Structure 1
Amino acid sequence: MLILLAFIIVFHITSAALLFISTIDNAWWVGKDFSTDVWKVCVNITNCTVINESNSEYQSVQAVQATMILSTIFCCVAFLVFILQLFRLKQGERFVLTSTIQLLSCLCVMIAASIYTNRHKDLHESHGYPSEILNGQYGYSFILAWIAFVFTLISGVMYLVLRKRK
């Protein structure tokens, strides 16, 4: 049982780390001499422009920013609730609250990645960036966001099924 508990804790911390990295790092859309994320666009690595309200797609960017931050917060809160429930629940009770919070985290990261998938081209076109930015590809932060989605989904279901044992 101790090994299972250690695995669950490591799995949850890994999910949180993936969410932090994908939210913070500047690699959602990359190309030869540029990289973009939900916060800024960098051309030639040194020339960075913060995405601001002058962009007509700013509301889409704000939605992605907000849901990624919420997903990270929910994941961290779920971990704290899990630790509290671990010592407070009676034997045989389920970690329903932890599962619910973790599944909310899963939902938020899915919404963020889906919005970005749908709107990233409009985002770059409306801001007037060079055409080479439109010819990029999804970066590792974007891929980590989808992997975090899978991890948080598995973790949320795992907490729902998990019963406290001796």
Structure 2
Amino acid sequence: MLVLLAFIIAFHITSAALLFIATIDNAWWVGDEFSVDVWRVCTNTTNCTVINESFQEYSTMQAVQATMILSTILCCVAFFIFLLQLFRLKQGERFVLTSIIQLMSCLCVMIAASIYTDRRQDIHEKNREFYNLKEGGSYGYSYILAWVAFACTFISGLMYLILRKRK
């Protein structure tokens, strides 16, 4: 049981780390001489511009920012609630509250990545000329990590739902 508990804790911490990296790092959309994330646009890896009201799809990017931050916060809260429930729950009870919060984190990261996936073309086409970006590019590793974090938080939420406190 101790090995299972260590695996669950490590899996949850990994999920939180993936969410932090996906939220913070500048690699949601990358090209030869530019990179774009939910916070800024960088050209030549040195000239970075913060995404603000001048950005054409600013409200869309705000939605992505907000849901990624919320998913990261919920994942951390779920971890602390799990630790509290680990010592407070009676034997045989399930970690339902932890599961619900982790699944809400899963939902938030899915919403953020889905919005970005759906609106990516509009976001980059409208802002390409403004930021002097070359055409083309591809999804970066932060975007991929967001989808991996979605899967990890979903699996973690299901594990907590199934898990019972045993001796």
Q: TM-score range by the shorter chain?
A: over 0.9
Give 1:144's aligned residue: 145
What secondary structure does 1:119 align onto?
helix
Contact 2:27 2:140 (8 Å CA) reproduced: yes
One-letter code aligned to 2:144? I
Give the superposed CA RMSD: 0.9
Cα offset, 1:126, TM superposition: 2.1
Give 1:5's aligned residue: 5
One-letter code aligned to 1:105? S
- Count of residue correspondences: 165
Identify unmatched segments of 5+ residues in structure 2. none
Task: Give 4+ residue runs of structure 1 displaced > 4 Å after superposition.
Answer: none
Percent of aligned pairs with the same amino acid? 76
Write the distance in 2 (CA, Å) between the matches of 1:72 and 1:79: 11
Write the distance in 2 (CA, Å) between the matches of 1:119 and 1:129: 18
1:85-137 Cα shifts (integer Å, max 9, x gaps): 000000000000000000000000000000001112211222234452x4100
TM-score (norm 1): 0.97
Give 1:30's aligned residue: 30
Cα offset, 1:45, TM superposition: 0.5
Write the distance in 2 (CA, Å) between the matches of 1:5 and 1:146: 25
Identify unmatched segments of 5+ residues in structure 1. none
TM-score (norm 2): 0.96
